[in-house]
């Protein structure tokens, strides 16, 4: 059965609470943009494409309710302004992933266009917004499947040495069904390799400090019954040096790809790219066009979110041996009290360390001059 992290039907949105994973699969209903903002901030939903889709659908659900209660303004411009204000608020939830800002910008254009039609009503603007939000959910899954296929084919043609027919890959953080509308980006490539019977083994990192790898990616790999092994982040170098492991490629997702190819992704990605270069292993970023931000020139222009110190100094989870059905976790301190903490959620991998950017439109490699030309992806 496919893992469905976002359930949406006609104004009713429910998300799997990722803070409860992998212990229990518990869905929470999101009815308003305020609830979505808090769910995104608290990382009950996370992953660049997923937070954009949940934000859009939460506002769609809120507007659905206003229509049902007959409390939506009849005035087209009032509804447009209401939607724009809510979108700006939602974008303030997390700064690094561009997908949320990108979705908000596109939806602003949709409602502005609808409101500018002669004789437009508030209801028409609201429906235009709801339809565009729902279309984003469908398109993201389609794009991910295409990314999966493009990435798998590229790896089989470019990353396997010595006549191998199956790939061994390492991935970081969670980029699967839980991080997107479904299927996933980097994890989508792993799923596609498996569906072609070309996945020898997938390694996933624990992804400290928030453990998206051990809690979420490991959960998805086990759920799909894929041949896989969990390592801690500090084991990556030893893994790449191991001929038995035989890693052919590292595939990661992205929160924002700048115009020059510099990529913001989960903290630890940069270190993996340095290791890949040292070991001659291909390093690939898998991301939909919604993650590519041509208005950001390079990685130094990307704002990196810093998260609370407690994510580093404490761990949370249900007590081993107790039957856990949801609710409060036990908290365990794992650092000396009083120590200073630096907790950036993301880092920047320079384009020089990236071999290819896998998108739904194909895999972009560097030009002979050594640059990524990402503009061409948006042409035609």
- Active centre residues (catalytic): 255
What is the distance between the terminal CA atoms of the chain, rounded to a whole angstrom?
Answer: 37
Give the three-state DSSP class for 296. Answer: coil
Radius of gyration of the chain (CA): 21
CA distance 82 to 315: 40
Strand-pair partners of 306: 344
Which tokens is 195 given?
Answer: 């569906």
> What would you measure as the largest C-alpha separation in the chain, in angstroms?
69
Between residue 87 and residue 116, which ones bind ligand MRU under the rule CB under 6 A?
97
Nearest-angstrom CA–CA distance, 177 and 335: 32
Least CB distance from residue 322 to ligand MRU, whole Å?
Answer: 27
CA distance 198 to 164: 10
> Smallest gap, in angstroms, from Cβ of residue 184 to ligand MRU?
6
Contact (CB, 8 A) for 268 and 233: yes
The distance of closest approach from Cβ of residue 49 to ligand MRU in the complex, given in angstroms and rounded to an integer, is 5
Please pick, from the candidates 133, 180, 181, 290, the single residue that binds ligand MRU as defined by CB under 6 A. Answer: 180
CB 175 within 8 A of CB 284: no
Residue 270 tokens read as 């940069």
**Closest CA relative to residue 19, chosen from 211, 205, 182:** 211
Q: For ligand MRU, which residue of 173, 194, 363, 364 counts as binding (CB under 6 A)?
A: 173
Give how far the C-alpha of residue 252 lies from the chain's centroid of Cα atoms, to the nearest Å. 10
Per-residue binder mask for ligand MRU (CB under 6 A), 317-336, x = binder: --------------------
Q: Nearer Cβ to ligand MRU, position 126 or 216?
A: 216
* Beta-bridge partner residues of 264: 256, 348
Nearest distance, CB of residue 43 and ligand MRU, angstroms: 6
x/- mask, ligand MRU, residues 45-64, rule CB under 6 A, reads -xxxx---------------
Closer of 147 and 281 to ligand MRU (Cβ):
147
Tell me phi and psi for residue 146, to 5 degrees: -70, -40
Q: Rounded to 5 degrees, what angle do the CA atoms 329, 333, 334 make?
A: 120
Number of residues in the chain: 380
- Neighbouring-strand partners of residue 330: 317
Helix, strand, coil % in the chain, rounded to nearest 5: 45, 20, 40
Using the 8-state DSSP alphabet, how is residue 213 labeled?
Answer: I
CB of 267 to ligand MRU, least distance (A): 8
Q: Which stretch binds ligand MRU (CB under 6 A): 1-9, 122-130, 179-187, 371-379?
A: 179-187
Nearer to ligand MRU, 111 or 141 (CB): 141
The residue with its CB nearest to ligand MRU is 253
Size of the site for ligand MRU (CB under 6 A): 17
Closest CB 335 distance from ligand MRU, rounded Å: 20
Binder among 54, 179, 190, 202 for ligand MRU (CB under 6 A): 179
- Is 153 or 215 the residue whose CB approaches ligand MRU more closely? 215
Alpha-carbon distance 14 to 26, whole Å?
10
Closer of 111 and 187 to ligand MRU (Cβ): 187
Q: Closer CB to ligand MRU, residue 63 or residue 179?
A: 179
Least Cβ distance, residue 238 to ligand MRU (angstroms): 23
Candidates 345, 353, 358, 364; binder of ligand MRU (CB under 6 A) is: 345
Closer residue to ligand MRU in complex, CB, 246/268? 268
The nearest distance, CB 77 to ligand MRU, in angstroms, is 35
CB–CB of 37/104 below 8 Å?
Answer: no
Q: Binders of ligand MRU among 208-267, rule CB under 6 A?
A: 212, 253-255, 265-266
Q: Which is nearer to ligand MRU, 55 or 79 (CB)?
A: 55
Where along the sequence are the contacts to ligand MRU (CB under 6 A)? Answer: 46-49, 97, 173, 175, 179-180, 185, 212, 253-255, 265-266, 345
């Amino acid at each position: 059965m496919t893992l469905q992290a976002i359930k949406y039907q006609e104004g009713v949105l429910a998300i799997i609470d990722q803070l409860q994973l992998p212990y229990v699969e518990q869905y929470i209903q999101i009815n308003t943009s305020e609830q979505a903002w808090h769910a995104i901030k608290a990382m009950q939903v996370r992953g660049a494409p997923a937070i954009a889709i949940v934000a859009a659908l939460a506002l769609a659900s809120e507007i659905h309710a206003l229509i049902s209660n007959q409390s939506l303004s009849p005035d087209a411009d009032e509804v447009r302004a209401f939607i724009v204000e809510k979108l700006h608020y939602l974008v303030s939830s997390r700064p690094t992933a561009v997908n949320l800002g990108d979705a908000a910008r596109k939806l602003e254009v949709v409602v502005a266009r609808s409101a500018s039609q002669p004789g437009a009503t508030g209801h028409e603007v609201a429906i235009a917004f709801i339809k565009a939000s729902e279309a984003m959910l469908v398109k993201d899954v389609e794009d991910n499947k295409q990314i999966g296929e493009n990435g798998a084919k590229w790896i089989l043609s470019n990353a396997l040495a010595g006549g191998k027919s199956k790939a061994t890959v390492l991935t970081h953080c969670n980029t699967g069904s839980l991080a997107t509308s479904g299927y996933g980006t980097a994890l989508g490539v792993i799923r596609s390799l498996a569906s072609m019977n070309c996945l020898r083994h997938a390694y996933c990192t624990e992804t400290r400090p928030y453990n998206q790898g051990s809690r979420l990616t490991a959960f998805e790999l086990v759920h799909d019954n894929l041949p896989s092994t969990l390592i801690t982040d500090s084991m990556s170098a030893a893994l790449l040096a191991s001929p038995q492991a035989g890693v052919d490629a590292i595939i990661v997702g992205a929160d924002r790809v700048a115009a020059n190819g510099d990529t913001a992704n989960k903290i630890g990605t940069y270190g993996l790219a340095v290791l890949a270069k040292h070991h001659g292993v291909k390093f690939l970023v898998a991301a939909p066009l919604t993650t590519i931000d041509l208005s950001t020139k390079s990685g130094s222009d990307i704002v990196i979110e810093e998260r609370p110190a407690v994510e580093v100094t404490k761990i949370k989870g249900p007590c081993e041996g107790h039957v856990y059905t949801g609710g409060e976790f036990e908290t365990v301190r794992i650092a000396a009290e009083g120590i200073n903490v630096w907790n950036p959620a993301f880092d920047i991998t320079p384009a020089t360390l990236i071999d290819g950017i896998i998108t739904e439109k194909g895999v972009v490699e560097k030009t002979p001059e050594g640059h990524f030309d990402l503009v061409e992806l948006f042409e035609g």
